[in-house]
Amino acid sequence: MKVIVCVKQVPEIAEVQIDPETGTLIREGVDSILNPFCEYAIEMALGIKRQHPETETVAMSMGPFQAKAALMRCLEMGIDRAILLVDKRFAGADTWATALTLAEAIIAIEGCFDLILVGKQAIDGDTAQVGPEISEILGIPEIMYGVGLELRNNKKKIRVTREIETGNEIVETKLPCLISVSKGPMIRSISSFQEILDARNKELRLVTADDLAIDDDKIGLKGSFTQVVKIFPPRVKKQGEIFDGSDAHAAAHKLTDFLSSRRFI
């Protein structure tokens, strides 16, 4: 059985700031991490491997050269091998061009597979579109927001517990299929130092546009139907008056004066 996990490297969201002049993300000094939902998908793949040790697990990502770090994290967690789709021609891809490139790579590089796992969305773009688009392009069933799964009928079918607004729903489909994953362990896993060292000896293959039989006008910016025109932070509501609290007594006086002047007290 072969499980392919499509992952993305994202900026650590807690630290992201937007340059007010250019409207672009300030990436300087911001760490990049494996998208948390992709990490859940990796955990799910590893769960299958624990139950069915013969399972082969592959992580795949499209991104700049630095995205190797996110794939390395997958390998440290226990994924068998990784593929990075890296080429200047892939740059500027919207969700459709990304999904098309990943789908083409899955066919061209891997050929057969039983299951594709993706995170439900990336925490930078939050579109949640790439996973479903891959399944549409490949013509396989998709189940969104998976939180648990069970292989059935001698691994010909899969039963997935998925989140819905009112609770959980259990659905079943035949393999191959694609599942987007929305929940993982409450505590992120930690690798051993041995696993960190071993990961560096695992296969991490770099694949360029030339390795894929795909037209240049279908990938990257050229192949994108949508374009990000501008990114801007939501307008900050006007803040109230802030009293200097270093002298609590004086601050309290100011506060009571303020409140009484407006007849609140």
Partner 1 sequence: MHEITTETLPIVDFSKLRCIKGYDELCQHYELYLCDESRLAHQGAELLFFPSNEAEISAIFTEMGKRGITVTLSGARTGLVGGAVPYGGALVSLERLNKVLGIGYDASAREWIVRAECGVLLRDLNNWAMKKTFPGLYERASNETRASLKHYKETKEIFFYPPDPTEMGAALGGTVATNASGARTYRYGATRDWVRKIRVILASGEALEIPRGKYFATPEGEFTIAHSTGVETTVKIPQYTMPQTKNAAGIFSAPHMDLIDLFIGSEGVFGAITEIEIALQKWESPVSIVQFFSSDEKAVDFVISLRKEKSIRPEFIEFYSSHALDLLRKKQAADPKVVGMPPIPDDARSAIFFDLMFDPEKKEHDYSRLEEIVISCGSSLSRSWAAYELRDLQRFKDFRHVLPETVNSIIAERKKEMPELHKLGTDFAVPDRALQEIWEFYKSKLEAAGIEWLAFGHIGNNHFHINLLPRSLNEMEHALSLYREFASKAVSLGGTISAEHGVGKIKQEFFSIMFSDRERDEMKAVKRALDPDHMLNPGNLFAL
> Which residues of the shown chain bind partner 1 in the complex (CB under 8 A)?
12, 29, 31, 33, 68-69, 72-73, 186-187, 189-197, 200-201, 246-249
Q: Closest approach of Cβ 75 to partner 1, in Å?
A: 12
Residue 193 or 225 with smaller CB distance to partner 1: 193
* Exposed / middle / buried, residue 62 (Cβ in 10 Å: 0-12, 13-18, 19+): buried
d(CA 41, CA 180): 7
Q: Which helix (H) or strand (E) holds 6?
A: strand 2-6
Residue 195 or 215 with smaller CB distance to partner 1: 195
Q: Closest approach of Cβ 31 to partner 1, in Å?
A: 5
Quick one: angle between helices 36-51 and 68-77, nearest 10? Answer: 30
Which CA distances in Å does 8 have to 68, 103, 232, 260? 10, 15, 22, 54
Q: Closest approach of Cβ 37 to partner 1, in Å?
A: 16
Residue 166 or 192 with smaller CB distance to partner 1: 192
Tokens of 126: 């939050």
Q: Closest approach of Cβ 58 to partner 1, in Å?
A: 20
Sign of dihedral through CA atoms 221, 177, 58, 10? positive
Q: Closest approach of Cβ 64 to partner 1, in Å?
A: 14
Residue 76 or 114 with smaller CB distance to partner 1: 76
Residue 194 or 227 with smaller CB distance to partner 1: 194
